[in-house]
Structures are given as C-alpha cells and as structure tokens.
C-alpha cells in the first residue's frame, strides 16, 4: 500500500524557518518525481515545488523561489521542504504528492497534509 | 505562466443528474490536463489524467474530454459521494497550475 505521511507543520512567526518532511512507503520512491502542493484556508490548490526522481532537477513557484528548497533522500524514501523567510501568505496545509509515473506532473497519491501557520 | 479557469465556480445538483464542468487554459496544453476531486478536510484524489484517461479505481461515471485549451469533466449520474470540489491542473509545463475549482453541492 502506498503511503505518504507529512510532518513538521507548526505555528511560527513571520521570518521564521521550518522543514517539512514526507515519509513514503509502498512504491519505488527513487523512480518518481515528487511534489509539494499547498492549500491556504478556504482556498484552492497551489503548486509549490517539484523534484525529479534523482533529485537533480528542482522546480519552484515564483511565490517561493529563493525562500523554499525542495530535496529528497532516496535512501530513506523521504521528501523534504525547507521553508525560510516565512510570510503570513505561506499559511496553508502542505501536501506532498507522488507523480503517477516517473515524471508525469500528475499526482496519484497524496499525503494527509501538514498545517503551517505563520502569524505574529 | 499558464492560467487555468474553471467554470462554474459552484453548482447545485441532485443525485442522478448528469453534470459537466469546464476548464480552460490560457494557452494550448495539448492533452496535459488532469482532474482531481477534493472533499472537505481531505487530500485531493486523481480522477482523470491526460485529458481523458480514467485513473485506476475511479468509477466509470467520470469521464474527461478535450485538448488544446478547452476541457470538460462529466459525471454521468451524480452519486451522493460525488458532492465535492473539483480541480483541473495542467501538466504541460512548469509552473504547474490549478484551476480555482468547482464546488458541487446539493
């Protein structure tokens, strides 16, 4: 059974930093691109960042470029999102998602989400 | 960036209705359009990928069509468990983008 479990969400002040993790199991992690998608309270889905299967290629939304860093540890089947210089507008539930095939940019499995709240 | 526009933003329907949602891309995305269903407090669920391919395990009452810039998602006979919000997403190029969603309620 494929499982994705996010962790690391928290309440923090503007300007702070946070590292999200997504522990996975049940599939060949090193064979799939992975993605972070967020959803602000009461709002729609927003793509945040993606990483290729090897970790060699990364992609970011303009809204987080330069502040967030996506990475992965294929030996531990885990995806990360390092979030720096956090802003109130980064408040959202953050989901990790698995590419349906190696790199398809569509997502067949999602985690349950982890809440990040940025507020003074 | 490719903008995705969904219409309507919300709709009311009844069990058994045939419902159709529309998603329009600001530029051609060939067939690279995906549909997700999301229920409150839950993660999105992939329904349709590549415009018209039904994801494994998804009931056949769901179907997708379109290419280029205009796409539709159809539910042939709405079931109680289908009341949810539906999002389209283009997978043609980064930045990947989602539509604003269509909420279906009773």
Confidence band of A103 (pLDDT split at 50, 70, 90): confident
Confidence band of A102 (pLDDT split at 50, 70, 90): confident
**Which residues of chain A neighbour B46 with C-beta distances below 8 Å?**
100, 106-108
pLDDT in tens, B47-92: 999 999 999 999 999 999 999 999 999 999 999 999 999 999 999 9
Query: What is the C-alpha R_g of chain A?
Result: 13
pLDDT in tens, A3-51: 999 999 999 999 999 999 999 999 999 999 999 999 999 999 999 999 9
Q: Strand, helix or coil at A88?
A: helix
Residue among B6, B50, B56, B95 with most chain A CBs within 10 A, to mutate:
B95
Percent share of chain B, pLDDT over 70: 100
Measured between CA atoms, the residue of chain B closest to residue A113 is B43
Phi/psi of residue B76, nearest 5 degrees:
-70, -35
Phi/psi of residue A73, nearest 5 degrees:
-120, 100
**Which residues of chain A neighbour B36 with C-beta distances below 8 Å?**
45, 107
Q: Strand, helix or coil at A86?
A: coil
Confidence band of B3 (pLDDT split at 50, 70, 90): very high
Going across the sheet that includes A3-7, the strands are A3-7, A18-25, A78-83, A68-73
The strand pairing partners of A60, in sequence order, are: A49
Distance, in angstroms, between B78 CA and closest chain A CA?
A: 22
């Amino acid at each position: 059974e494929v499982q994705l479990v996010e962790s690391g969400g928290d309440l923090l002040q503007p300007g702070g930093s946070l590292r999200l993790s997504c522990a996975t199991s049940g599939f060949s992690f090193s064979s799939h691109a992975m993605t972070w998608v967020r959803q602000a309270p009461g709002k729609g889905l927003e793509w945040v960042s993606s990483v290729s299967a090897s970790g060699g290629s990364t992609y970011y939304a303009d809204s987080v470029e330069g502040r967030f860093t996506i990475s992965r540890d294929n030996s531990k089947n885990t995806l990360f999102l390092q979030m720096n210089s956090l802003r109130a507008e980064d408040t959202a539930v953050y989901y990790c998602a698995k590419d349906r095939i190696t790199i398809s940019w569509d997502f067949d499995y999602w985690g349950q989400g982890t809440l990040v709240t940025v507020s003074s | 960036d490719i903008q995705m526009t969904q219409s309507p933003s919300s709709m009311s329907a009844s069990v058994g209705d045939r419902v159709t949602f529309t998603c329009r891309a600001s530029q051609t995305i060939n067939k690279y359009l995906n549909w997700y269903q999301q229920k409150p407090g839950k993660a999105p669920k992939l329904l349709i990928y590549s415009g018209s391919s039904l994801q494994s395990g998804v009931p056949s009452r769901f179907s997708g069509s379109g290419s280029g810039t205009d796409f539709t998602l159809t539910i042939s006979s709405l079931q109680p468990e289908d009341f949810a919000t539906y999002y389209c997403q283009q997978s043609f190029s980064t930045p990947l983008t989602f539509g604003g969603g269509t909420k279906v309620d009773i």
